[in-house]
Amino acid sequence: MIISERIFQILEKKNISQKQFSEETGISQSTISDWKRKKTNPSADRIMAICDALQVTPYQLLCGESGGEFESPECYVVSRGTEEYLLIEKYRKLDRQLRSRVLGYLQAVAEEGAQ
């Protein structure tokens, strides 16, 4: 699901009209209509205003939410400099064979930890 589809899903769920949404975000109604009609996404500089108006976090807007609990996310937000970021950065530099080995190792460790 693209971001604009998620925006309209939240608007419908919260019973907010496009006009109200436009007034709360300062985004023109024609731009909002373009998102719906052309299935395009808002620019990044508008995400926080959209989140404020919809009373959702950027993570919820970008990755989705269902019934108050997160679905298996379509994406993760990882802060630069964290262990997760460094792990992803190193993983992406590996060739296909080494990536497969890393995934096998992670699976074995996860299974061992589950026991």
pLDDT digits (tens, 9 = 90+) for 56-115: 888 888 887 544 444 555 667 778 888 989 999 999 999 999 999 999 999 999 988 887
In this prediction, residue 75 carries a pLDDT of 67
Domain 3-63: which CATH class? mainly alpha
- Contacts by residues 69-77 (CB-CB < 8 Å, ≥ 24 positions apart): 74/1
Q: Cα dihedral sign for 35, 38, 43, 44?
A: positive
In this prediction, residue 69 carries a pLDDT of 45
What's the DSSP call for residue 93? T
Decide which of 34 and 65 is more confident.
Answer: 34
Structure tokens at 7: 């925006």
In this prediction, residue 97 carries a pLDDT of 94
Which part of the chain is CATH 1.10.260.40?
3-63
Give the Cα separation of 6 and 28 in Å (integer): 18
pLDDT digits (tens, 9 = 90+) for 22-33: 999 999 999 999
In this prediction, residue 70 carries a pLDDT of 43
In this prediction, residue 72 carries a pLDDT of 53
